[in-house]
Structure 1
Amino acid sequence: MDKPQSKPEEQQNMNNASLSFKGFARRVDHVPKQDSNELHSLPAPLGAFDVPLPPDYSYQVASCEPELSDRKPQHEQEVSKKLNDREEDKDKAAEHSLYNQYEEKIRPCIDLLNSLRTLGIGKDLMLPAIAVIGDQSSGKTSILEALSGVALPRGNGIVTRCPLELKLKKITTPQEWKGVIHYRNMEIQLQNASEVEKAIRKAQDIVAGTSGNISEELISLKIWSPHVPDLTLIDLPGIARVAMGNQPQDIGQQIKILLKKFTGCKETINLVVLPCNVDIATTEVLKMAQEVDPTGERTLGILTKPDLVDKGTEETILKIMRNEVIPLRKGYMIVKCRGQQDIYNELSLASAIQQERQFFEIHKHFSILLDENKATIPHLANKLTNELVGHIIKTLPTIENQIHDALQQSMQELQKYTEGTPKTDSEKVIFLAGLIKVFNEDISQTIYGKESLFGNEVRLFTKIRREFQIWEAMLLEISAKVQEVIHNRVCKYEDQYRGREFPGFVSYWTFEDLLKEQIAKLEKPAIVVLNKVICLVEEKFLEFANKHFANFHNLNKAAKARIGCIREKQATTAKKRIQTQFKMERIMYCQDNIYTDDFKAANAASCISKDAKRKQLSFGPVSSQGPSFVQKIVSHTKAYFTGASKRLSNQIPLIILSTVLHDFGDYLQISMLQLLQGKEDLNHLLQEDHEVANHRKLLISQIDHLNKAYQYLVDFKSL
């Protein structure tokens, strides 16, 4: 028995597709077997992008069958029918298998990305996306219309004036079309596709104004439909070169900056739209894509308007498609969308897709591109879906690390805030007591140099000790200078003021006046040290007030007022004590044994110095040392000043520590506890700052979202 005559391949494929309730955007009898572990090679189902059969193809298929039936015997027709039924069953089984793979592998990736965006993760972290860029009139809008199934704003000049995030969500259950547009704090529900264009224009006018300006502010349009792919696309303004109307003169530069902001992100796939009737090597948009993606690993080229190619130049287009002109890692696709005349003729998007397939099927040069799945909008949808899924998987480790870091940062920031104010008075008293308790604990720990530190922080006591070390170094420096000053003053006395005294006699009063004069010079530096230390203490205490009372403005203000008041009081007290110390120093007293020991040490040091200089000057008298009585009085002066320096080196820091650290801290703790006595002030003190309360709520919400996002990633990795 002869086999029934087979139908042409393309007619058979179209017939198979028409029998499928969820066909794919490729001829199913040519779909190779897929490795279950291979993700990028999975074909997107037509469920991701339904394409109806062209009416003329359906007519041809129907008109051929009666002719075949007339030529065959009855039993051959029955056998043929059985064979066709088997082929259809195989096709349906293949489609079902591929659909299951799509649902198991591709759908979770897309859902993960959508879930992260829904949680608002994309506001702080860059999520994988597809940015669509092109020159004006390159066909960019037509591609987006074909993918989304909705009409977008068209016109002359810059039509897209804000980044438009186009979220396409395929719904598998029979359901009506639904859309939502978000911008600023507005959310507008769209009931049918015809409302989209007007809604986008209105949104752009609100966000960017009505004068043709552009804005970086994002407008988000989400579409649920059985006839769209699972994709998120970002439509960006077309590259403009000349300002029109009231547009700023640097509008072209503004657009380039905006484009680079989106296309420069490593998480973004750049979809570069290039008309076939221009030399792609000279297009500015491709040059821009090469700047942000020099290796071309994130760039996919889309050739448009193949019907406008000049005859004889088709081979050039094929070379581009074969990646032989300007190579891109992701290669090129070619599509034919609605032209301006088609729009005037009100050609529907569905009909345009039908005509697109017919164009490539019958084209002498480009039909091979259809066979290679590099042509038509359905194959583009398939390509973009797989590219996006691959990009998602590639960037998952980075996304996970970013979410983890953001979660840790948010939790650390939340620790700075206490819980909200309780409702009842008794609870408020306990709550306020708790706030003051932890504040006072920090003050107490700081006084004794035990406060907790984070990162590279330095303890307050360490900072204060540095100031005291500067004070000690200052005393040593002045002590060394005193010897020279006393030597010169004694010599001057000998030359100018000695009267009846015999040589070698110096009045004790002169010696005392000289020492008092040098010690008095130390009083001002001591006050400087005091002021520096009290500023450090005040700064630390104010830091604790901000730490514990940041979200209670009135309580924080009350604490800071007490800190300021006590600070002034203790600064005055410390200054008086330092002045008293220097007043005592003017008495000029030292225990005999202590002074004698210091004098012996000073005299020995003077002899050693004299011997050293004598060795250096082996000729002539050592006249620079002056008379022996001068050296003796210098030794006496050094001895007393050494003892006074030791005393002041410790005494001034002790006065400062006692007055402006310990007493300051103790008085402040007592003053803060006194706030608990005024119950009538509870509501005032615990009135929470509005901005702080909102920020705390925002942090809690952000942490919740980040935790959910992290769990999404964990669940996805376990699939």
Structure 2
Amino acid sequence: MKCLQKVGKSSVLEALSGVQLPRAQNICTRCPLELRMKNIPFNQTEYATIRCEGIPEIKINKFSEIMKRITDCTVQLAGATNNVSSKPIYLTVYKKDIQADLTLIDLPGITRNPIDGQSKTIYKDIVELIEHYIKPQTAIVLHVIPSSVDFTTSESIQLAKKNDPHCERQLIAVSKIDKFDKGIGEKLQGIGPGSMALKLGCVAVLNRTQEEIDQNIPFDEMRRREQQFFRSNEAFEGVSEQYLGSGQLVKRLALIQQERIRSTLPSIIDELKKEIKSKKSELKQMPPSVTSEIDCWALYADLIKKYREIINARVYGVYDNDTQLKIETTDLSRTDARTQMSNDRFDERIAFQLYNRQKDCREKLHNSFTHFFSSEYQKRVLELLEENAGVALPNFPSFSIVERLYRAEQNKFRKPCEDLIESYTEYCKVVLIKILNEVFVEETSYKYLIIHKLTDIILRAIDESEERCSYDIKKMLETEQRVFTLNHYYMDAVNKIKQKYQEYNNSIKLNQHTKVPSTFMINDFVIDVSSLSNEQQAALDVQIAMTAYCHVVEKRIVDQVSQLCYYWLITRCALVLDSKLSSAFTSAVLFEWMREPIDQQQKRENLKRSIHAMEKALAMGQNA
């Protein structure tokens, strides 16, 4: 955050953090102050930490000491005069009433004319310092500008425009709002003279008066007074609440921070990964939470056993209450609820979900075949019979014709099979990792380390099984190049059609003056045998053969590809994952991770919060 001097910057920072910061007549902030605000549960004690170069981290139990500690760090870095330093001070505040975790960097205000004790190059030094922080595209610039000032002429705005000419990463905290001019409502919304229509907008903040500071009015009371000020003042009637109050400013900053993390990938992700790795390495070096390797191994073995049992139950169709159909009678009918649950293709009902994917494959494969009894297909067959003239006896088609027609169909088999493999693999990855996270549900210091490692093992095992499955299915499809079957379905279908055709001819002879239906259905396909010439009868024989044989191939492929997917991804992978996971760590490694003496709990909790926050940010960035 970068602001001008004497514009209520301290009040804005205090309103955001809930702690009192140093104030001075001339230049107040003489070093970059990295202020991190962390929300903590109500059962924990509030505190702060501060450090800088030359002063190791100090824990502050009384917030009233923060001003003195900041002053000490400032003197350490910038001296006792009024000079500035580019070296930062790191202040982290852990409070119960913080609305959102935020990180703000308070920079020195711009000073054009040096005063006693300041360098003659103070203006140049401050500008260079500010530009160093606002130049990165990841930086968001929060200007603190009094309500009565023309926003467009603000020096901080002009400086920020050099690195952000379109003002896409700037917003204004409008301070000293009690001294507003006419039209302040429109000005906050980027309308009218002196306003700026910033992409990130403006938020008005009510500063503490000197009397309120002297009386040490609590920040909770100040927020109440701020809300009352905006509600009771006619100038703000009709102005959306998103433009009014320090609470809205915190929300705006938190939202911007989240969106900025998403938009600055992949550099932010890389930095987060490095920081997470560093924090996890530090966490790993802390003593685990158990007292012996035997206890450690027993706990881990129980977790892996639970994981195995859940997977086995889901594979064999045993679902607990959490995965059963939940019907909300007030909102959904019984049928609607069941339909909604069935549409969740990634729930834990493994047997049910795999069966649905197999049905999808069967449908795709079935729909991929040509309509063999269409007039267009008959024309194609007649063309091939004509080409075959002189090769075989009349009305006795060559086997090569069937092979040529079948080859055109065979090219369509691969896509449905590949889709089934991909669907199986994607589902297994999602559901097996989901179950793993449910098993390791307790928040422990070792949870993320172990899950991270086990996730790698699970995904690698699934990828290996997918590769082997794909290889076997490729070989299986290669065997389908040969036209061959001993399946009785083929001859049954052929004989039934010919029998129907013979019955039709006999009916014609017996009922010469009566119209006899020439269309009939056998095994899901409709056939019209009326007025067939000799050539068309020969073509019909080929069409019958193609239809019957492709139905055989369809059933054969669906069964085989389903069996192979199940064998490699379930039987040889999901159902035996526990053996891989059980050998993932040595007892010594587990013992090192899980042991945890009482005097290390506070440090562990701090690290865990930091890791959790960064992993949450990383997940948000990766899912954006």
TM-score tier, shorter chain, comes to: 0.3 to 0.5
Which one has the largest radius of gyration? 1
Q: TM-score, normalised by structure 1?
A: 0.43
Return the structure number with greater helix share: 1
